[in-house]
Structure 1
Amino acid sequence: MSHTATAAVETSDGPRPAIQLHTVRSIDAPLPELIRYVADAGYQGVEFAGAFLDADPRAVERALTETDVVPVAAHVDLSRLEDDLEPIVDRCRIVGCDRVIVPHLGSHLFRTTATVDALASRLDGFAERLDSHGIELGYHTSREPFLPPLDRFGLGTVSSIPLPAFVWKSVADAADRWLLRGNRQLDRTAFSQLAYQTDTMTFEIDVGWVAAGGYDPVEAIESLGDRLSLVHLADVRQTRVFPPAFRSVPPGEGLIDPDEILAAVDRSNADWVIFEDDDPDDPEAAIWKGIATLCGRPV
């Protein structure tokens, strides 16, 4: 993999451009080299994914310092946080990363209003622990918190039956499709309930998955106010009507309008807008397409 000249990036007082390094996970190069490569493309920040927890943090820190790239956040599974909190905190301190994001959570955690309240308490507890170390905790939205909690359809008692999570997700999908029938209200979702029931935690809106849930990503962005820390410019395309299925596509080739999203991000309190293509055919090309999209240049 060869480096090319750094792209000229037009910056403003708005959110700065970053990339989720999950986009380039298939490139055969160590994490410090990937940081240098995306810096050459013009990204000012990186968001770490799984490779961060296995890389040499001192080498990562050197690459960040050499390139002046900011470690925006690190995605860490909630179970990993529960098992290895102190080592993760130490790793973040070494590289200068002051934000940890919990990525996709299982649909069973959003099954009813009671399970959402329990999740809120669990996340707020971790947020307080991380805050004591100077690290912010955020939650990355997926489609699941935009499915209807089952007790809002009189299914609360039934939902307590210990069946596999995919069964309850199927029930929620059915309620979403045949009971809501387009009458969706963001303030009645598990997403809004989670925001209301938490205090310290912030949110990273993935606009593709909000759209997959049948809601307006701009409304979701605007609903959070100063609880919004980051926005993922990502996109999905529906591949099956029922049960619903989606696949990642480059932003603008699925459900979202990148220009509309970027305008909303500019009006928001987000510090960074983060490009992600979860399954690119050509990850190196995706890097350059991403920076062009974030900076409003023709692709």
Structure 2
Amino acid sequence: MQYATQLYSLRALPAADRCRVVAEAGFTGVELVGVDPPDGVAALDLDVAAAHVDVETVAADPGGVVERVRTAGTDTVVVPIVAEESFRPGEVDETATRLDALAARVEDAGGRLLYHNHEFEFASGTFERVVDATARLGFELDVGWATAAGADPVSLVERFGERMPLVHLKDVRVDSAAPRGAVPVDLGVGDVDLGGVLAAAAEAGVEWVVFEHDDPAAPARTVRAAADWLSIR
């Protein structure tokens, strides 16, 4: 497995500093927000694990999106979120059909499409329903938000790992009073079974483990702490 950082975690820093922080921490890759590579990817010899691109942009021009992310250094496009109501029981089957059809269009253009979860996809068991109802769509499991929803991320990786070439390694402290059921924290501080996730990911042949913290108070320190926890510095 290789280790990357989602650049969303570093959005509070100047753009010119983000890749430098990732490289100096010891990560070998980044995950993009959007289709264009940030400053420093090539100069710092960082790989691009994937690019998060909103579903409307992908649907409007799958071929163009694939061409641009391939120029950036990856063939993997990740839909970071869809509207929460799309995963309600009455809507989820249509959502699965739509995402799988879009994955086919991306694949035909020479790329692959993954879906990244938050917590709401697990509220009615609909995440697993989408996995079962799709064939060409892949997944980037966010283990932090899965834990926030009461799901077992280790079990999910064990069951669906062949559909998950990427895993978002996020730690959270479960808190029923929090708006989304948990608060993101540094790796090793929260309630996610990170060791179990990493073992399951290695067994499943996951390509990239992508560290993310949604709202770090000190982004550079948080990325360095994640690298230390992972023992990659």
Deviations 1:80-138 (A, max 9, x none): 323354442332121121100111222211111x4211111111111111111211100
Deviations 1:242-267 (A, max 9, x none): 97643222222222132222222222
Matches within 5 A, 1:1-299: 15-30=1-16, 33-49=17-33, 52-53=34-35, 57=37, 60=39, 63-112=40-89, 114-148=90-124, 189-241=125-177, 245-295=181-231
The worse-fitting range, judged by mean Cα deviation, of 222-231 and 255-264 is: 255-264
> What SS does structure 1 have at the residue aligned with 2:165?
strand
State the aligned residue count.
Answer: 233
**C-alpha distance in 2 between matches for 1:214 and 1:245:** 9
Letter in 1 for 2:100: D
User: Highest CA radius of gyration, 1 or 2?
Assistant: 1
1:262 touches 1:294 (CA, 8 Å); kept in 2? no
> What SS does structure 2 have at the residue aligned with 1:224?
helix
Deviations 1:40-93 (A, max 9, x none): 2211111111xx44x5x5x75xx4333332111011121232335444233212
**C-alpha distance in 2 between matches for 1:86 and 1:266:** 32
The structure-2 alpha-carbon separation of the partners of 1:84 and 1:131, relative to structure 1 and needing over 3 Å to count, comes to closer
**C-alpha distance in 2 between matches for 1:29 and 1:230:** 24
Measure how far apart 1:292 and its partner are: 1.6
Letter in 2 for 1:117: D
In structure 2, the residue matched to 1:165 is none
**C-alpha distance in 2 between matches for 1:236 and 1:225:** 21
**C-alpha distance in 2 between matches for 1:246 and 1:259:** 19
Higher relative helix content: 1
1:106 touches 1:144 (CA, 8 Å); kept in 2? no
Letter in 1 for 2:9: T
2:63 touches 2:106 (CA, 8 Å); kept in 1? no
In structure 2, the residue matched to 1:4 is none
> What SS does structure 1 have at the residue aligned with 2:91?
helix
> What SS does structure 1 have at the residue aligned with 2:49?
strand
Alpha-carbon RMSD across the aligned residues, in angstroms, is 2.2
Q: Scaled by the length of structure 2, what TM-score is found? A: 0.90
The worse-fitting range, judged by mean Cα deviation, of 121-130 and 254-263 is: 254-263
Letter in 2 for 1:34: R
The worse-fitting range, judged by mean Cα deviation, of 229-238 and 128-137 is: 229-238
Identical columns (%): 36
Letter in 2 for 1:43: F
The structure-2 alpha-carbon separation of the partners of 1:296 and 1:29, relative to structure 1 and needing over 3 Å to count, comes to closer
The structure-2 alpha-carbon separation of the partners of 1:19 and 1:242, relative to structure 1 and needing over 3 Å to count, comes to closer
Deviations 1:112-170 (A, max 9, x none): 1x42111111111111111112111001121111111xxxxxxxxxxxxxxxxxxxxxx
Measure how far apart 1:235 and its partner are: 2.0
2:187 touches 2:225 (CA, 8 Å); kept in 1? no
Unmatched 5+ residue regions in structure 2? none
